[in-house]
């Protein structure tokens, strides 16, 4: 997935694969402004930088959740956390 995040724009499907979410959840992130979308022709593309910021904020939020002994929103393995750290 690292190759995908090196691109400036990702397709909706690529963003779903990186975030491991379904189409409805992705649409919610777009509507709430957590991800930046731009139109290219008939397709909508996701800005990779906004995706990286979302991943970074999710990672830091899950760290705070673990520190306060609350359940984490994302159950990422140490390897996945390291990969996310490399992206940001």
- pLDDT single digits (tens) 1-31: 555 556 688 889 998 998 889 999 999 999 9
Domain count, the chain: 1
- How much is the pTM? 0.59
Q: Which residue has the higher pLDDT, 67 or 42?
A: 42
Q: Is the pLDDT of residue 48 over 60?
A: yes
Domain span holding position 64: 2-87
Rounded to the nearest integer, the mean pLDDT of the chain is: 77
Q: What angle do CA 64, 4, 43 make, to 5 degrees?
A: 105
Band of residue 63 on the pLDDT scale cut at 50, 70, 90: low
Strand (E) or helix (H) holding 83: helix 78-87
pLDDT of residue 28: 92
């Amino acid at each position: 997935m690292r190759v995908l995040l090196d691109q400036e724009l990702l397709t909706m499907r690529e963003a779903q694969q990186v975030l491991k979410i379904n189409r409805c959840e992705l649409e919610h992130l777009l509507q709430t402004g957590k991800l930046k979308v731009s139109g290219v022709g008939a397709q909508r593309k996701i800005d990779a930088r906004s995706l990286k910021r979302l991943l970074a904020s999710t990672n830091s939020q899950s760290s705070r959740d673990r520190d306060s002994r609350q359940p984490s929103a994302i159950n990422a393995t140490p390897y996945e956390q390291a990969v996310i750290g490399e992206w940001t």
